[in-house]
Structure 1
Amino acid sequence: MGFWGTFVVARDARPLPTLAGVRELADHIVWHGAGQDGWQAVQLHRAPDDWRPPMTAEDGRESLLESLVEQTGQPVLAAVVLDSDGAQLIGYSPRAGRWSSWLSLEAIVDYLDSQYSDRLDVDDDEELPEDLDEFWKNRYREACRPLYELAPPSDIAAPHAVAWAAEAGYAPSVAAVEAALGGGAVLVEDQFFTLLAALGLPKMTAVAYG
């Protein structure tokens, strides 16, 4: 059974679990990590309750991230993880604003609302081609198309992620960030922390919380 929930990354001298919005989710925190320069992350099991991809700037569910930017004055980043298979990334920063992308989107289409997952269904009377590999690649590509319109793929998202990192004082390579966004991993949590490293953030180790 994989992880369902959210990673939130922020930068502040105060412990991240004590900040407003995160504090109210204390019962969901299963890990709190900290690194150099005030960077921290919390892993929230099945929280926030209404966070389920796809998420957009207009749907009103991202007030926690906006609040953390206001409280810290620094960029924040979240990964909404589905069964450790894939995630939606949502970043906010004081000047550049919001950006979003995906980690391993094709691996989580089956978990999304029927308007997306139904695109993978095969009708009983549908004749399948001999090349099933290509058939399913095309089917998943079509299922992902509207989702990439909501949160773009790695090549489009990478420059926005780099701009996010630049506000934190880092100068990562666009190519390295794009590779991390599109690289994949057995556990998407590992891919997420690879992305953090590509963005220039320090390694985080577990610290006591609660």
Structure 2
Amino acid sequence: MGFWGSFVVCRGDTPLDDLQAVVERHDGIDEHEHRPGGWQIGRYPGPELADDGPALLADLAEETGAPALAGYVLDSDTVFVEGHSTGGGYWRACLVRAAAEAYCEDDDEDFAAEFPLPEAAARAAASWAGDAGLTPDPAGLLEVFAVEDADFAEELFFRLLDRLGV
């Protein structure tokens, strides 16, 4: 059985578990990682944060004054990635596309319209990174979004963060 839960990424001095945007939506952080430039990554078990993704990210961006990103992991098979920045707004993509589509086949949404192909996903991610003052690796982003199979999709999410410059 793989991991079911969320990774939340933001920049700021206030710890993730003290940010109102997170506190009002989840009981507590499972793991916490700090990266250079004031970036922090929190791991949260369960689906609570995924249920309110766009609002969570908008609230985080407003509260921290910096772009925010989240990855919602489904049984380590796929990751739904969402980002928000004040300049670029909200965007959405997925890692391990075929697995993501399989999880969505009973939904009443148009998967292709909701989740861009790897090229468009890489452009959206690079734009988000630019808004965050980061230097992304466009070819590396495309490579990550194009991966078709992964034992642990959350490892791809961390590769994505590296390619974004986080």
CA distance in 2 between partners of 1:188 and 1:91 (Å): 18
Aligned residue in 2 for 1:7? 7
Structure 1 runs of 4+ off > 4 angstroms?
none
What is residue 171 of structure 1 aligned with on the other side? 135
Aligned positions, number: 165
Report the residue type matching 1:102 in the other structure: C
| % same residue | 36
Asked whether the equivalents of residues 80 and 100 of structure 2 are also in contact (C-alpha less than 8 Å), the reply is: no
Structure 1 residues 1-210: aligned runs within 5 Å: 1-48=1-48, 51=51, 62-112=54-104, 114-115=106-107, 146-183=110-147, 184-201=149-166
TM norm structure 1: 0.72
Query: Matches of 2:49 and 2:154 in 1, distance apart?
Result: 19
- Tell which structure's C-alpha radius of gyration is larger: 1
Instruction: Give me the whole-angstrom Cα distance separating, in 1, the residues matched to 2:53 and 2:92.
Output: 14
Between the aligned partners of 1:70 and 1:11, the Cα distance in structure 2 is 11
Q: How far does the alpha carbon of each residue in 1:25-57 deviate from its partner, in whole angstroms, 9 at most, with x for none?
A: 453421111111110011111132662xxxxxx
Tell me how far apart the structure 1 counterparts of residues 132 and 82 of structure 2 sit (CA, whole Å): 16
8 Å contact kept, 1:5–1:81 = yes
* Deviating more after overlay: 32-41 vs 181-190: 181-190
CA–CA separation in structure 2 for the residues paired with 1:173 and 1:110:
29
Structure 2 CA distance for partners of 1:45 and 1:28, relative to 1, 3 Å: farther
Amino acid at match of 1:193: F
- CA distance in structure 2 between the partners assigned to 1:75 and 1:2 by the alignment: 28
Q: What's the CA shift for 1:112?
A: 2.9
Gaps of 5+ in 1: 52-59, 117-144, 202-210
- CA shift, 1:63, in A, is 1.1
Change (3 A) 1:115 1:169: closer
Q: TM-score, normalised by structure 2?
A: 0.89
Letter in 2 for 1:36: P
State the SS of the aligned residue for 2:30: strand
Q: Is the 8 A contact 2:88 2:127 kept in 1?
A: yes
Q: Which amino acid aligns with 2:125?
A: A
* Alignment correspondent of 1:137: none
CA RMSD of aligned residues (A): 2.1
